[in-house]
Amino acid sequence: MPHKTQMTAEDWLYCGPNPPVLEVYSKEIDPLLRELVDVAEINYPSYVLRRGPGGPNNFFGTGVHQDFGLYPEDMRSIFGAEFFDEWFSKLDSGGGYSMINFWRPVLPMVGPVRGVPLAVCDPNTISVEDIVPQEVHGFVPGGQYNMGLKFNPKQQWYFYPEMTKDEVLIFRQFHYQPKTPQPYSSIKTVFHSAFRSPWASKDEEVRCSSEYRVPVWLK
């Protein structure tokens, strides 16, 4: 959706006191989040995942994945043992919990994104039986539990061509709804992947992008 930001190229990389991600960006996206989700509490992180040249993650996730697991127990590797127990005990006290991703091209990219856009899969077209639990090592100490996906011709994939810095893509990466029996019969989260566009030339501008993963307690 259309959404301008005052964040500079340096702001996306800053990790010191009073980070612009909290001081500027979280306030910019707050109205969007409250419009889209029935919010009880938002825990805005002080950092983003910045991909592309000039940042700490100069690579793109070109394999189909979901960054978090399917069930609450899968989040232990994300939160750590101490915080996980506190978080887990709170899960059934309200309307649920979601992790919402705000994905966008950012400065110093001029844009639009042509070479390596992001594709997303309609969760309504995914069979739970096609989900592949997996552990990824190298990003989180001790490894991180997330999900891969088997190919199924029923899956419907989409991407937004030529996204600009004045647009943001918002999608859910984790969701828990109280009293939902396991195993789930369907999912409400979005598998995604960067891909090298067959319509782009070899000399397209390299993508710079930001992922802001926001934990939300629901009413």
- What are the tokens at 77? 């590797």
- The per-residue pLDDT for 140 is 63
- pLDDT tens-digit series, residues 115-124: 999 999 999 9
Checking if the pLDDT of 8 tops 90, the result is yes
- pLDDT tens-digit series, residues 125-157: 999 999 999 988 766 666 778 999 999 999 999
Q: Is 131 helix (H, G, I), strand (E, B) or coil?
A: strand
d(CA 27, CA 51): 22
Element (H, E) at 124: none
Checking if the pLDDT of 183 tops 90, the result is yes
- Overall average pLDDT of the 107-112 stretch: 96
Checking if the pLDDT of 200 tops 90, the result is yes
- The per-residue pLDDT for 130 is 98
| DSSP label at residue 73 | G
- The per-residue pLDDT for 82 is 80
Q: pTM value?
A: 0.94
Q: Where are the domains of the chain?
A: 11-218
Checking if the pLDDT of 171 tops 70, the result is yes
CB under 8 Å to 138, separation ≥6 — which residues? none
- Count CA atoms closer than 13 A to 21's CA, side-chain side: 23
- Overall average pLDDT of the 28-38 stretch: 97
Residue 114: pLDDT band with limits 50, 70, 90: very high
- Give the mean pLDDT of the chain: 94
Q: Dihedral of the CA atoms 182, 72, 85, 87 (nearest 10)?
A: -120
Checking if the pLDDT of 50 tops 70, the result is yes
Tell me the CA distances in angstroms from 216 to 17, 24, 105, 116, one per residue in order. 23, 19, 23, 29
Residue 27: which of 2, 5, 11, 50 has the closest Cα? 5
